[in-house]
C-alpha cells in the first residue's frame, strides 16, 4: 500500500477530460464550454461521434490506449493508459516517473454516466439484455477518479455540468479540493446505487428470496425541513421503481411536503388504490398513517362525504386520497375544512382553480393508481440491521371466504365484509373496522388489546352519531373486520353489542370454537379468510 504524499492541493486546473456517456443530455454544451477553455477532449464510441458531428476536436480512447474497442465495446477503457491517467498522484515522484516512462497522460476530468441498467429492467427486458446493460468500464473509471479526487474531478450526472462550469469560471479553469470531494461523494453514491440495482435485479431473476447481502439505494428527491419532529433531520429519496404515488406525483400548489405529509400521503394513496375506479368512486382520509374514514359513493363527492362522516374530528388536517380524478364539486366540498394534502389520479382544471384559493392545501396528481397486487419489498430498520419482507399484496375474493357460522352472510354483508377487510389491511394493528353500506363507520387502530380497538371504534361511532344528530350509531347493522383472529370471544361480543351483524377475521385461534359459538349464540354471520393483515 502506498503511503499518502503531501496535503491536498486546493486549486487544480482542468487540462484534459475524458467524456463517455450514454445519456447525452447537455453533453454538447459542456464539451463546447470545456473546449473554449482549452481543455483537451478524449472520448469513446458514440460520444466521440456526437462531439465530432458538432465540430469539436476529440481524441479517441483507442488512440490514447493503442488498442481498438473490442468485444462489442465491452473492452475499451479498461487499460493502464486510462486508469493510470486517472489514478496517478501528481505530487508523488514515483508516480510521475512511471507516467513519463510509459507515456501516460493525466486525466483531470472524467464525465461518465452508466449504461441504463435500471431503465432496461424497468421496461421488462430479457435476462440477456439486462446483463448486456451492466456497465463495467464506467464504474471502474468512476471509482478510480473518485479515489484520486485529490487531483481529479468526476461527474456522473448531467445536473452537475453547470456546477462544474461555474466552479471553473470562478477559479480560472481550476477546481477546489472541497468541490472535488463533493463530486467524489456523488460518484461513489452512484456506483453504490448501480450495484444495488444490479444485485436486487439478479436476486429476483434467479428467485433468491434471501440473498446473503442485501443493498438498497435511493436518489435524493427533496431535503426536508425536519423529520417526524423538528429536532430530527430528514430527506426524501426515490428508489427508481416509478410506482405511482407521492414520489412520482406532480404537485400543483402549496408549500413543500413534510416528512409526515409524505408518509401519510403514501398511506392514503396505497389504501384508495385498493378500490378499482371502474367499480365506482372511493375516498380515503388518513391521519397519522391510519384511515379515519374510507367510503365508496355514487360520485366522488358522495364518497368523500361518507368518508368524512366516519370521524369528522380526526379528518381535520388530514390527507385525502381519491381513486378517480378530482372534479370541481368534490374540490368545493373538500375546501370546507382544513386539509393538508389531496392526492388523486388527475384533477380537472376547474378543480385546480377551486384549490388555488387555498394556498396551504397541497394538490398532488399522478397518471394512474399503484397496483395493490404488485410484488415488491418493504424494509424496516432495527438496531444493528433491518428487516425485509414482501410488500403485503394479499387479496381476497368472495370465493376465498369460508363461512364458519350457522347463519350465512347476506350479499350486502359480504360486500361490506370484503370492503372492511380491505381497509383493515391498511390500519395499524390491532385493527378493528366497522363498515356499513360501503363506508367505514368506526375505526379502532394501534391498540395493544384487540377488544380495546373494538370498543374505541364503537365509541367513535357513538360520538359521530351525536355530531350528525342521528338516533343510533351507524355501527347498528354494520359488519366488522379484524386484521387478526379474536383470541377470545370478548372482542366479538363487544362488536355484537355495538350492533354488528357479521364478522370477517382470519381464524386460527386455539379458541376459534368458542368464538364461533359466541357468534352463533348472537345470530351473527362470520367468515374466515385464512389470511392475516398485521401492520406495525
CA distances from 356 to 251, 331, 363 (A): 12, 10, 9
Alpha-carbon distance of 52 to 521, in angstroms, equals: 86
Beta-strand relationship, 402-403 and 525-528: antiparallel
Q: Which three cell numbers stand for residue 450?
A: 384487540
Distance of CA 342 to the CA centre of its chain: 18
H/E segment holding residue 339? strand 339-344
Beta-strand relationship, 282-287 and 250-253: unpaired
Beta-strand relationship, 219-224 and 234-238: antiparallel
Q: Which three cell numbers stand for residue 502?
A: 357479521
Print the SS3 string covering 174-240: EECHHHHHHHHHHHHHHHHHHHHHHHHHHHHHCCCCCCCCCCCCCEEEEEECCCCCCCCCEEEEECC
List 24, 171, 182, 288, catalytic entry: 288
H/E segment holding residue 381? strand 377-382
List 147, 171, 182, 476, catalytic entry: 147
Query: Residue 311 carries which DSSP code?
Result: -
Length of the chain: 536
Give yes or no for a cis peptide into 430 (omega within 30° of 0).
yes
The reply to whether 147 belongs to the active site is yes
Q: What ranges make up the beta strands (E) of 205-338?
A: 219-224, 234-238, 250-253, 282-287, 290-296, 318-322
Alpha-carbon distance of 347 to 236, in angstroms, equals: 25
Three-state DSSP class for residue 331: helix
Alpha-carbon distance of 281 to 267, in angstroms, equals: 18
The reply to whether 358 belongs to the active site is no
Torsion of CA 152, 155, 156, 157, to 10 degrees: 170
Q: What is the DSSP string of 70-125?
A: BTTTTBSS-SHHHHHHHH--TT-HHHHHHHHHHTPPP--EEEEE---HHHHHHTT-
Q: 200 near 218, Cβ under 8 Å? A: no
The residues that are catalytic are 147, 288
Amino acid at each position: 500500500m502506498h503511503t499518502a504524499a503531501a496535503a491536498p492541493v486546493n486549486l487544480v486546473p482542468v487540462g484534459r477530460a475524458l467524456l463517455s456517456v450514454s445519456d447525452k443530455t447537455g453533453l454538447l454544451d459542456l464539451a463546447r464550454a470545456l473546449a473554449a477553455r482549452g481543455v483537451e477532449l478524449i472520448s469513446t464510441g458514440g460520444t466521440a461521434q456526437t462531439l465530432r458531428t458538432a465540430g469539436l476536436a476529440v481524441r479517441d480512447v483507442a488512440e490514447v490506449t493503442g488498442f481498438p474497442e473490442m468485444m462489442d465495446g465491452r473492452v475499451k477503457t479498461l487499460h493502464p493508459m486510462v486508469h493510470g491517467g486517472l489514478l496517478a498522484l501528481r505530487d508523488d515522484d514515483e508516480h510521475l516517473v512511471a507516467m513519463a516512462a510509459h507515456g501516460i497522460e493525466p486525466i483531470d476530468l472524467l464525465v461518465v454516466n452508466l449504461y441504463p441498467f435500471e431503465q432496461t429492467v424497468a421496461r421488462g427486458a430479457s435476462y440477456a439484455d439486462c446483463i448486456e446493460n451492466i456497465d463495467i468500464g464506467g464504474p471502474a473509471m468512476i471509482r478510480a477518479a473518485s479515489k484520486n479526487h485529490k487531483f481529479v474531478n468526476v461527474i456522473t450526472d448531467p445536473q452537475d455540468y453547470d456546477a462544474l462550469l461555474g466552479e471553473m469560471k470562478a477559479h480560472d479553469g481550476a477546481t477546489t479540493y472541497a468541490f472535488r470531494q463533493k463530486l467524489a461523494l456523488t460518484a461513489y453514491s452512484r456506483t453504490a446505487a448501480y450495484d444495488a440495482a444490479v444485485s436486487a435485479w439478479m436476486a429476483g431473476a434467479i428467485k433468491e428470496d434471501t440473498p446473503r447481502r442485501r443493498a438498497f439505494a435511493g436518489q435524493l428527491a427533496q431535503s426536508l425541513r425536519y423529520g417526524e419532529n423538528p429536532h430530527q433531520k430528514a430527506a426524501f429519496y426515490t428508489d427508481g421503481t416509478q410506482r405511482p404515488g407521492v414520489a412520482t406525483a406532480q404537485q400543483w400548489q402549496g408549500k413543500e411536503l413534510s416528512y409526515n405529509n409524505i408518509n401519510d400521503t403514501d398511506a392514503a394513496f396505497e389504501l384508495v388504490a385498493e378500490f378499482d375506479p371502474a367499480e365506482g368512486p372511493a375516498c380515503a382520509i388518513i391521519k397519522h398513517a391510519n384511515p379515519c374514514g374510507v367510503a365508496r359513493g355514487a360520485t366522488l363527492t358522495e364518497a368523500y362525504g361518507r368518508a368524512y362522516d366516519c370521524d369528522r374530528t380526526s379528518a381535520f388536517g388530514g390527507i385525502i386520497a381519491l381513486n378517480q380524478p378530482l372534479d370541481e364539486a368534490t374540490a368545493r366540498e373538500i375546501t370546507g375544512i382544513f386539509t393538508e394534502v389531496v392526492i388523486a389520479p388527475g384533477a380537472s382544471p376547474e378543480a385546480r382553480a377551486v384549490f388555488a384559493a387555498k394556498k396551504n392545501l397541497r394538490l398532488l396528481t399522478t397518471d394512474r393508481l399503484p397496483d395493490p397486487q404488485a410484488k415488491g419489498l418493504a424494509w424496516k430498520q432495527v438496531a444493528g440491521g433491518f428487516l425485509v419482507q414482501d410488500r403485503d399484496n394479499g387479496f381476497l375474493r368472495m370465493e376465498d371466504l369460508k363461512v364458519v357460522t350457522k347463519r350465512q352472510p347476506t350479499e350486502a354483508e359480504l360486500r361490506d365484509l370484503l370492503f372492511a377487510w380491505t381497509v383493515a389491511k391498511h390500519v395499524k394493528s390491532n385493527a378493528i373496522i366497522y363498515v356499513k353500506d360501503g363506508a367505514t363507520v368506526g375505526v379502532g387502530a394501534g391498540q395493544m388489546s384487540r377488544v380495546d380497538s373494538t370498543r374505541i371504534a364503537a365509541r367513535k361511532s357513538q360520538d359521530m352519531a351525536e355530531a350528525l344528530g342521528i338516533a343510533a350509531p351507524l355501527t347498528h347493522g354494520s359488519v366488522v373486520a379484524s386484521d387478526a383472529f379474536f383470541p377470545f370471544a370478548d372482542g366479538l361480543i363487544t362488536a355484537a353489542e355495538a350492533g354488528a351483524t357479521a364478522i370477517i377475521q382470519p381464524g386460527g385461534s386455539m379458541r376459534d370454537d368458542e368464538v364461533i359459538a359466541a357468534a352463533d349464540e348472537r345470530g351473527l354471520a362470520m367468515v374466515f379468510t385464512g389470511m392475516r393483515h398485521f401492520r406495525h
